[in-house]
Amino acid sequence: MNESLFTPFITPTVLGLPAAVLVILFPPLLIPTSKHFINNRLIIIQQWLIRLILKQMMTTHNAKGRTWSLMLTSLIIFIASTNLLGLLPYSFTPTTQLSMNLAMAIPLWASTVAMGLRFKAKITLTHLLPQGTPTPLIPMLIIIETVSLFIQPLALAVRLTANITAGHLLMYLIGSSALAMLAINLPLTLITLTILTLLTILETAIALIQAYVFTLLVSLYLHDNS
């Protein structure tokens, strides 16, 4: 039984040695690769899913943006699989850690900005001022747009962290309350367990949606800058 509210979020250690890297590297092991042309059903389903993600995500990009297909597909599969595995009891979810999400968001955002400044510097700088702005408002709006640009990686990371952490906390709290009420009030426990079931379904959806949103936003930043 977990001792406190923070126990699910402590970075895992095995006999004092950090096991976080192993936990992060685990989800790809569940996705088999194949060297054959015609595969079994599991791999066909997996390939169909990856093609669906690829088509959905990369049709709006130009040739330069499509060189990022591998990166974006890997990103969404990694975040989705990590989030879904975190819904299992007593598992550790790396995406609840802000450090991990910042480590994903900052390089990707910075690289889109660097790409924009490198290949289309003037157009990237003109993005800092929306079209049709009245002249007196220009300095203030440039400052606002610059601030909103620098907030993008923070927002990406914090959005993912907060959503996953909040969901796990809620599940933990409602589960604990259901367990505590079991000996006291059975009908209320059943209602709480129903809420917990619905919440688990919601958390599964959130796990997938958050992965999609993260990748979609990175793809959007790439599209603006490529």
Partner 1 sequence: MTLGTRRSDISHFQCQMLQSIIKNIWIPMKPYYTQVYQEIWIGMGLMGFIVYKIRAADKRSKALKASAPAPGHH
Residues that bind partner 1 (CB under 8 A): 67-68, 70-71, 102-103, 106-112, 114-115, 118
Considering the complex, state which of residue 67 and residue 148 has its C-beta at the smaller distance from partner 1. 67
How far apart are CB 140 and partner 1 at their closest, in Å?
27
How far apart are CB 200 and partner 1 at their closest, in Å?
34
Backbone angles phi, psi at 36, to 5 degrees: -85, 155
How far apart are CB 101 and partner 1 at their closest, in Å?
12
Considering the complex, state which of residue 57 and residue 178 has its C-beta at the smaller distance from partner 1. 57
How far apart are CB 159 and partner 1 at their closest, in Å?
18
Identify the helix (H) or strand (E) that includes residue 13.
Answer: strand 13-14
Identify the helix (H) or strand (E) that includes residue 103.
Answer: helix 98-119
Distance of CA 3 to the CA centre of its chain: 28
Considering the complex, state which of residue 70 and residue 190 has its C-beta at the smaller distance from partner 1. 70
Considering the complex, state which of residue 23 and residue 104 has its C-beta at the smaller distance from partner 1. 104
Contact 160, 168 (CB under 8 A): no
- What is the spatial distance between Cα 142 and Cα 169, in angstroms, rounded to a whole number? 39
- What is the spatial distance between Cα 219 and Cα 50, in angstroms, rounded to a whole number? 16
Considering the complex, state which of residue 68 and residue 214 has its C-beta at the smaller distance from partner 1. 68
How far apart are CB 109 and partner 1 at their closest, in Å?
7
Q: Rg (Cα) of the chain, in Å, rounded?
A: 22
Contact 100, 49 (CB under 8 A): no
